[in-house]
Structure 1
Amino acid sequence: MSQEIAVVGSPDFTAGFRLAGVRRFENVQDGERAERLDDAVTSVLDDAGVGIVVMHDEDIEYLSRTVRQRVETSVEPVVVTLGGGTGSGNLREQIKRAIGIDLMEE
């Protein structure tokens, strides 16, 4: 069972997670996002030890269509996006996808 958390993003984004003890991360400089982000995300998605991938919400825009679709449909590892335009609806969908049920169902 995969249990490691991986963080993908700019060094500023990953720094806080590294200080909190996350050991698996992929730094992608802002100027390199278009070229390197696909490779960085694919690397953590293919790592069998990773159970959760954390990314900045705005970085999703820089992914190729293939990698973006993989991120949006990935169940294991679960991909969680933070920051930017992330609203409660988006987080709700991520939780629902991860555990298979809607905890907020009325």
Structure 2
Amino acid sequence: MSQEIAVIGSPDFTTGFRLAGVRKFENVPDDEKDERLDEAVQTVARDEGVGIVVMHADDLDHLSRDPRRVVETSVEPTFVTLGGDAGSSGLREQIKRAIGIDLMEED
């Protein structure tokens, strides 16, 4: 079972996670996102030791179709996007997709 957390994004975005102990990361400078972000997503998605991948929600705009589909549909690893327009409903949908139930469901 995959247990590590990985983070993908600009060095500014990944630094806080690295200081918190995240050891797997892909730094993609802002001026290289259109060229390198797809490859970073594919590399981390293939890593069997990674269970959760954290990205900034705005970075989804820089992904081509196939890597974006991986981010949006992958269960293991589960991609979690933070910031941007994703908001709490976006995180709620990501959690629901990852575990298969809606924890916030009202009766």
In which range does the TM-score fall when normalised by the shorter chain? Answer: over 0.9
SS at match of 1:36: helix
TM-score (norm 1): 0.98
> How far does the alpha carbon of each residue in 1:19-47 deviate from its partner, in whole angstroms, 9 at most, with x for none?
00000000000000000000001000000
1:6 paired residue number = 6
SS in structure 2 at match of 1:97: helix
Structure 2 residue ranges without an equivalent (≥5): none
Percent identity (aligned): 74
Matches within 5 A, 1:24-103: 24-103=24-103
**What secondary structure is seen at the aligned counterpart in 2 of 1:21?**
coil
- After TM superposition, the score normalised by the length of structure 2 is 0.97
Shift of 1:70: 1.2
SS at match of 1:17: helix
